[in-house]
Amino acid sequence: MTEISRRKLFATAGALVVAFSLPGEAETNQKLPGSLSSEPRLSGWIRVDAKGDITVFTGKAELGQGIRTALTQLAAEQLDVAPARVTVVTADTGQTANEGYTAGSHSMQDSGTAIVNASAEVRSLLVEAAAARLGLPAASLSTQDGRVTAPDGRSLGYGELAAALSPDRSATPGNRLKDPKAHKVMGQSLQRVDIPAKVTGGAAYVQDMRLPGMVHARIIRPPSYGATLLELDSAKVEAMPGVLKVVREGSYLAVIAEKEWQAVVAMRSLAGAAKWNAGRALPDPATIFDTIRALPSRAIVIRDDQANVAAGTRSVSARYLRPYGMHGSIGPSCAIGLMQGDSLTVWTHTQGVYPDRQAIAALLKMPQAKIRCIHVEGSGCYGHNGADDAAGDAALLARAMPERPVRVQWMREQENTWEPYTPAMVTEASAALDASGRIVDWQYGVWSNAHSTRPGGAGELIAGWSLPEPTIPSAPVPIPQPEGGGDRNAIPLYNVPNMKVVSHFIPEMPLRVSAMRGLGAYMNVFSIESFMHELAEAAGADQVAFRLKHLSDPRARDVINLAAERFGWNAAAPLAKDHGRGFAFARYKNLAAYAAVAVEVSVDRESGLVRVIRADIAVDSGEVVNPDGIRNQIQGGFVQSSSWTLVEELRWSTAAITSRDWGGYPILRFQNVPQSVTVHLIDRPGLPFLGTGEAAQGPTAAAIANAVADAAKLRVRQLPLSPTRMKAALSA
């Protein structure tokens, strides 16, 4: 420890107490766990107030995935307080650490790991403070219900001891976590803290915020990418009831009114008054996969294993296609902006308050320090939808109407036609089997656009594209392995001696695209696990046994065995007519949660309609914090992925996006969701948390496709497996 840091430490309140647990030199070189490595101050994560109540600060956002509840459990457990005494403050540039985006199933791994360790360390500091006050060894003291208690019955509340926690105190390496066997809160299905308000009409979303003096705005977007405003006579709209202002900056057009309905009516009128030139033409949807395959791409070899083994005796190859898809949030994007003097506050359901602030600062040419972005929940986003763009709109409109909160919500057709879609993708696989039915060679390529065009820069906010000096999107870059973007999960976990995997990154984006739940993992796992089914058939092997034969990771084998067992996997057992069974497995990103899925489907040979009858899913998320939270995420992920796989496909013409509403972009409804989806958890107490929120997306798609192939006795390799496509295949 340097002299400076020692002096600084002793200058702060409670320094004497703190000094007892100073780490040695060797320990300080260890990396702090989770996001503590980027925000080491304990007070950045945990604060104890004078009453002994706990506030947890996370840079991650509640997106409906239940993170607020799981983080509450971590702090309550390690600090020995009731969950009701824990408040969680989520992503807010004015209060929380910069944890980037709430994405990639990282929240438990990064923020959860930081919070569980910070909580444990704060508890140990409180115990040391109590030991000093009571003149007893720390080891003789225990904690419960927010108090430190001595064997003689004396006790001190956390509130009395909180002064010992210096705000500058940094976390130190070392494991202070409780023995998982002693857990009372972690590992329990604590009910979600946000659900009661959501079912009773409480103010739960940014859409529900009503600030004093708030006004309502609506945007009039160009009819297509790159269209510019030629003519506008806004006089009539300006005279409409309640209209406060028509905002026009270049081709950026919006209206602000006192009331929301007035803004909607004025928006429609203004849209009718605006004349636009044609934007850039979109590619022919009929040949989109040829277009994608032909676009210039950069080949990145992400795996190249070569071994001297005998060549295979039998080869198999296949090509798989997935269309553009939509996040399809039920609530269109919304944000509120308030410009007071030279300071701007934006309430937003962005996944990344800090990156969004950076983009807004660039858009408005303001210093970041003058902008505060506060996350407030929105409708589920499942990735980069219109949230950041709406925040950009709110910022621009707050500047146009200073000193009044400006709430802007997009209309359905705006969300549908302007959100960044998940890219259409092409994969090609070929493999060789030896005489024993083992895969000896595996060649795989994936062609894709970028899977993240998130802010950062002003060019990542669509409002900027229409300004008098249009902002330019940053050049897209691939997300590198091991997480990957288009090539996420492109490397199978199976043991194959010769394996080459190439990611073909396509910079040019025919449609606006970005991150959607699972990124490329959805398509790669669909492809790889469909291909495994095809290979198993070629080898004459059972689907489950064939996977296990090529897999050595014991945790992967465990989920596969458990899903098969609970499903009652028996390929020889007869099924009802036109029913089929399918299986798939993946470990998300090859480094997060393991998931194996077994499903039974039926295929109606007349209509082509596929129904999922039942599914059993086995999941290993490392140490389980909230079992029901994981089940909810996996069940939801299964149903959502079923919808992507069976019905979803973006529609457009060369002039415009035509999936303008739910009629043009159908998703699964109640009558077609499965009869049952059962999730089976493998708990790994004491092992690291493994991100789970996206783990079901890929295996679900492949398990369904494999079951469809089993039922229909034919393989459809282009998604979605819609009635139209299935019917065509069945009658071919």
Judged by the rule CB under 8 A, the positions of this chain that interact with another protein are: 63-66, 189, 191-192, 194-205, 207-208, 210, 216, 241, 259-262, 264-265, 328-332, 377-380, 382, 409, 411-412, 628, 632-633, 635-640, 642-643, 661-663, 667-671, 673-674, 676-677
46 vs 103 by CB, closer to another protein: 103
191 vs 443 by CB, closer to another protein: 191
330 vs 714 by CB, closer to another protein: 330
SS3 content of the chain, % helix, strand, coil (to 5): 35, 20, 45
162 vs 206 by CB, closer to another protein: 206
Q: Which residue, among 91, 77, 46, 88, has the nearest Cα to 144 in the 3D structure?
A: 77
251 vs 633 by CB, closer to another protein: 633
Q: Give the Cα-Cα-Cα angle 251, 461, 240 (nearest 5 degrees).
A: 45
154 vs 412 by CB, closer to another protein: 412
Q: How many CA atoms lie within 13 A of 591 on its CB side?
A: 9
Query: Shortest Cβ distance from residue 381 to another protein (Å)?
Result: 8
Is 615 within 8 Å of 598 (Cβ atoms)? yes
Largest Cα–Cα separation, the chain: 85
Is 303 within 8 Å of 260 (Cβ atoms)? no
279 vs 664 by CB, closer to another protein: 664
Query: Shortest Cβ distance from residue 187 to another protein (Å)?
Result: 16
Task: Could you list the beta-strand ranges (E) of 172-272.
Answer: 215-220, 229-232, 243-249, 252-257
Query: Shortest Cβ distance from residue 646 to another protein (Å)?
Result: 13
Query: Shortest Cβ distance from residue 426 to another protein (Å)?
Result: 26
Query: Shortest Cβ distance from residue 499 to another protein (Å)?
Result: 34
Residue with tokens 């937003």: 348
Query: Shortest Cβ distance from residue 412 to another protein (Å)?
Result: 4
Dihedral, 569, 574, 579, 584 alpha carbons, nearest 10: 20
Query: Shortest Cβ distance from residue 208 to another protein (Å)?
Result: 4
Contacts of 290 by beta carbon, 8 Å cutoff, 6+ apart:
none
- In this structure, which amino acid lies at residue 543? Q
Joined tokens for residue 220: 């009039």
224 vs 416 by CB, closer to another protein: 416
430 vs 672 by CB, closer to another protein: 672
d(C-alpha 224, C-alpha 418), whole Å: 9
Q: Give the Cα-Cα-Cα angle 194, 200, 202 (nearest 5 degrees).
A: 65
Residue with tokens 């998940």: 422
Contacts of 307 by beta carbon, 8 Å cutoff, 6+ apart:
497, 498
207 vs 590 by CB, closer to another protein: 207
85 vs 407 by CB, closer to another protein: 407
197 vs 591 by CB, closer to another protein: 197
Q: How many CA atoms lie within 13 A of 137 on its CB side?
A: 2
Is 425 within 8 Å of 289 (Cβ atoms)? no
Contacts of 522 by beta carbon, 8 Å cutoff, 6+ apart:
322, 422, 516, 641, 644, 697, 698, 701
* 3-state secondary structure at position 317: strand
257 vs 366 by CB, closer to another protein: 257
Cis peptide before 723 (omega within 30 of 0): no
Residue with tokens 């996420």: 488
467 vs 613 by CB, closer to another protein: 613
Question: Which strand ranges, in their side-by-side order, compose the sheet holding 86-89?
Answer: 46-48, 54-57, 86-89
Joined tokens for residue 188: 């329990």
The pairing of strands 439-448 and 86-89 is unpaired
Query: Shortest Cβ distance from residue 328 to another protein (Å)?
Result: 6
505: which strand partners? 298, 448
Helix crossing, 723-731 with 697-712: angle to 10°?
30
**Residue 410 burial by Cβ neighbours in a 10 Å radius (0-12, 13-18, 19+):** buried
Distance of CA 76 to the CA centre of its chain: 25
Query: Shortest Cβ distance from residue 631 to another protein (Å)?
Result: 9
65 vs 530 by CB, closer to another protein: 65
Q: How many CA atoms lie within 13 A of 349 on its CB side?
A: 30
Contacts 24+ apart (CB under 8 A), 95-98: 95/57, 96/44, 96/57, 96/58, 96/59, 96/353, 97/35, 97/38, 97/39, 97/44, 97/45, 97/57, 97/58, 97/59, 98/38, 98/39, 98/59, 98/354
Query: Shortest Cβ distance from residue 209 to another protein (Å)?
Result: 10
254 vs 326 by CB, closer to another protein: 326
The pairing of strands 425-433 and 155-157 is unpaired
Residue with tokens 């020889």: 572
65 vs 224 by CB, closer to another protein: 65
Is 4 within 8 Å of 80 (Cβ atoms)? no
